[in-house]
Structure 1
Amino acid sequence: MTDETSSPRSLPPHADGGRDGDISTLRKELIEARNLVIKTDNLLKNLHAELKQMGRRHEEQEKRHWMTSVTAYIGFAVIAGAGAIAYANAEVRTARSDAQANEARAAALQKDAEKIKAAEKTRRDSSEKALRVYELLGSEKEGPALNQAMTQAMHLDRGQLSALEGKAIDDRAAGMKRQLAEAARSAGESAYRRQDWNATSQDLGRYVELEPKVSDSMIWFHLGNARIQTKEFQGALHPLETFLKSAGGTKTAQYAGLLLGQAYEDVGNANRAREVYERALTLYPGSEFATQLRNRLKRLAAAAAPLGTPPATAAAPKPQ
């Protein structure tokens, strides 16, 4: 309000003409003052309303903040829980993997232990068997029991024996082996002279088994000849082949070729039989065996010509 409305105006005593103007002015000022009051009141109301609105906004903001915090806490809890579950699952998987690996290692160790136990039992059995053979070699006299002991000594599993055990067996068996070999040779030669082919095959076969280096090539011939007579054709191949390698061009070699060819025929190897016959025929074309060799070559040729014709079986020739 102006100074005119706040302080009383002094009127001159004889100014009636201007009183109406002053009242009008006062009235205007009152109206203006009223309007100003109303306007101020409206402003206050608006301010109060704005304050209330700001309060509500603040409350809503606090609610949103609270909801955001709650949501954040819940999200954090969910993430933490998921992480904990994932970590727990990873730990469980790791524990299972470790358990399976430990089980596999335990099974492998158990298998290794069983293998070691089995190997130890095998070694112990071999050692006990070697001890029995060692005692037999020292106690048995010449005969079947000693032959059996020698056979067991030759077939011992040396990989399961110690060096000392193997040397002891070898030392004791070496002397007995030479004696048995010479006894088998003598018996085989005697049986050959008697034409006891079964005994010859057995004794001379025993000799070449005991003696790694046979110096007399006739041993191989006698063994092969005896096995031809006993129809052990497969067993006759090696002795006769060995004999022919060192026999040279003798008539005995030609006869051995005749026997070897017959053995190859009987085991079904006609090509090798023909080669042996042809070589034997070139040694002595006019010998008493040449006719038999030619006849057998002719028979092989005839058997090969018509397919499906079974070859004829030749009789075993008599030794000369």
Structure 2
Amino acid sequence: PIHWSHSLFVRIRKTIAKFQQMDELTSTEQGRDISRKFVSISKEIRHYEQRLFEQWKETVNAKAMEMLKQRIFRAEIDGKEVPADTPNAKIVVNFHTELTVLIRESKYLDRMGFAVPETALNVTLQEDKYHAYVESLEAMLRAHDAVVASLSPVETELLQTQIIELRGALDKGFKLLNWNSLSIPEFTDSCMKSINKFNAVVKQIQKNASIIKGVVDAISSVELLKPPSTPPGAELPELAELFDDIDKNRQAQLDELLRQYHQIGPLLIKVEEMVVNTNTGASPVLRSYYAYWEREIYAA
């Protein structure tokens, strides 16, 4: 409303300024009456703006303090806030839109010459800092969401402990930190280190899984009884020779598949080392992961 009334006053003032340059009009009684009405309207607009400002000033400090005390994260499902421990909830930066509006209002009122309350003015002067906080936190959460979304169901189960630990690194944003906290940059950096460490483990596990999948695909697509190719016009081999060639080809392919198959065990041990820091080849933590690849190999 203050912006609207002020813009109305500016338009009236521009019109009156042009009018006052016309001596033949301002020297008349009607012209003087218009000038008096302009002065009267100007006062009314100014009083109206002042009343609105006083109403705004009464609550702005309390609003600013309340919103600055809010935690920097909140959890959402389908855009609705839910408890932080709700399964599958999305973590979002909790910088209230009303705080953005308050900053914009304070800047505008300050430029208009109003005495903006100290708390609101201090918040406004730190706009760039809050903007930087929000950007860095959102970038960090995008990195977190991307690595978690890259996991297959079996990888999610395999890395459940690490996922819980990673979520624990973010918990300060729900439980401790608010927009008055001075340690938000350090918190963001610490979270990014945890995300990068987790991502490195995920990439290595997925690299090993890709190699194992290649072995499974090779087993699935092999043709053990493929007859040798005969050039056009060449004599067909004797039956015994044909069987011998087929058997040699079958054995060669079996040997190659066996060589590839024997790579799976060491790859699974590498996964075990990354996940639980052991190399037994029979970790209970990897039970479902072993079972997954057993089913894949059997189905091939």
| TM-score of the two chains, using structure 2 as the length reference | 0.25
- The structure whose Rg is larger is 1
- For CA contacts below 8 A with separation 6 or more, give which structure has more relative contact order: 2
Higher helix share: 1
| TM-score of the two chains, using structure 1 as the length reference | 0.24
